[in-house]
Amino acid sequence: MAAPAPAGAAGSPSPPPQLPSPFAELVKSPSGLEKVVLRGSRNCCVEVYLYGGQVTSWKNDNGEELLFLSTKAIFKPPKAIRGGIPICFPQFGTHGNLEQHGFARNRFWTIDNDPPPLPANPAIKAYVDLILRPSEEDLKIWPHSFEFRLRVALGPSGDLSLTSRIRNTNNDGRPFSYTFAYHTYFSVSDISEVRVEGLETMDYLDNLKAKERFTEQGDAIVFESEVDKVYLAAPSKIAIIDHEKKKTFVVTKEGLPDAVVWNPWDKKAKAMQDFGDGEYKNMLCVEPAAVEKPITLKPGEEWKGRLALSAVPSSYCSGQLDPLKVLQG
């Protein structure tokens, strides 16, 4: 009698990769792209596509979506998915010769089942580790060998964290430099009712004015037209206060000095093929980043950059919440 074919042999479907967290599951999306679903308490849930290593959904206890994903997003390579948290690497924006925002956001990442350990946090049960290494084609456009490890974790209170570890694995002794951003699209009720706290008085480069440097004036940032600014040496906590939803997002960043704030407004929205004409009203990008000063790694060196997001109910409208407490807390 013929021996049973080993799993994965021609003709038999390969078993889905095992994920170390029992709260993580690999599923195929309707587009045919694979995604990892992380489940937390009640309806808390995060979705991460292997394409781009991109978080596309983060839901709270009530199952309410906290990230913006365009209804026109295209789930087909080589287009990057419009919304969620694209990863800009090894280049942010047009700060270099590569395609806008680099190539990590339109490459297929793989599941990394044996990553070097991160500081243990026993409270985190739902997580996944992904890895990106350059292909032969990538090496032609960016001639550096690297390992990019990404951990996406859903905390017990519904907080979402992304930890990136980038290592130079060049074996010819050469260092490399890159810029980086977690291009986070937040879902907001109405952009004209949103304030961003923590960036007032900061210096910024204005992408709408040939990257010229200015200093932010006055109070919290509010939105009345297109914004595309790179705030320099921004604080480690930034709050996005959505008056209408009575919700505050707290963005905590580590290893990422800058913060990009972007809303395309009506004209640019219309010009984007994968973005609804009126969707600019319901999104805001606040992107922890390293833009002004590229990060340089020598062979064997590793860099770590972390983003942590939480969404807290805000009674800010009724004056009960002091935004400074959120930022300092």
**Among residue numbers 177 through 206, which ones bind ligand BG6 (CB under 6 A)?**
183
Secondary structure (3-state) at 187:
strand
Question: Among all chains, which residue has been given the structure tokens 């290592």?
Answer: 167
Q: Pick the closer one to ligand BG6 by CB: 48 or 81.
A: 81
> How many residues in the shown chain lie near ligand BG6 by CB under 6 A?
10
Segment lying near ligand BG6 (by CB under 6 A), choices 24-32, 93-101, 123-131, 166-174: 93-101
Catalytic annotation on 183?
yes
Which residue among 207, 236, 252, 282 contacts ligand BG6 (CB under 6 A)? 207
Strands 45-49 and 54-59: antiparallel
95 binds ligand BG6 (CB under 6 A): no
> Taking CB under 6 A as the rule, does residue 31 contact ligand BG6?
no
The pair of structure tokens assigned to 187 is 């879902």
The distance from CA 324 to its chain's CA centroid, rounded to whole angstroms, is 25
**Residue 61 vs 274, nearer CB to ligand BG6:** 274
Instruction: Establish whether 167 is an annotated binding residue.
Output: no
118 or 272: whose CB is closer to ligand BG6?
Answer: 272
Catalytic, 287? Answer yes
Is residue 287 near ligand BG6 by the rule CB under 6 A?
yes
174 known member of a binding site? no
**CA pair distance 212, 124, nearest whole angstrom:** 42
- Cβ-contact 34, 128 below 8 angstroms: no
Q: Kindly name the residue from 95, 101, 144, 183 that is annotated as catalytic.
A: 183
The residue behind tokens 């308490």 is: 41
Q: What's the DSSP call for residue 52?
A: T
Q: Nearest-CA neighbor of 170 among 150, 136, 143?
A: 143
The residue within the footprint of ligand BG6, chosen from 40, 52, 90, 93 (CB under 6 A), is 93
Q: Find the shortest distance in angstroms from Cβ 181 to ligand BG6.
A: 6
Min separation Cβ 55 and ligand BG6, Å: 15
Please state the closest distance from residue 87 (CB atom) to ligand BG6, in A.
12
Q: Is residue 40 part of the contact set for ligand BG6 (CB under 6 A)?
A: no
d(CA 164, CA 69) in angstroms, rounded, equals 22
Distance between CA atoms of residues 61 and 71, nearest Å: 23
CB neighbourhood size of 71 (10 A): 10
Q: Nearest CA to 209 among 225, 193, 187, 197? A: 225
| Under rule CB under 6 A, residue 262 binds ligand BG6 | yes
Q: Is 320 annotated as a binding residue?
A: no
φ and ψ at residue 269, rounded to 5 degrees: -55, -45
Alpha helices in the chain (DSSP H): 136-141, 265-271, 323-328
Nearer to ligand BG6, 211 or 246 (CB): 211
- Which residues are annotated binding-site positions? 82, 100, 105
Which residues of the shown chain bind ligand BG6 in the complex (CB under 6 A)? 80, 93, 100-101, 183, 207, 228, 260, 262, 287
Where is the binding site for substrate, in residues?
Answer: 82, 100, 105
- Catalytic annotation, residues: 183, 287
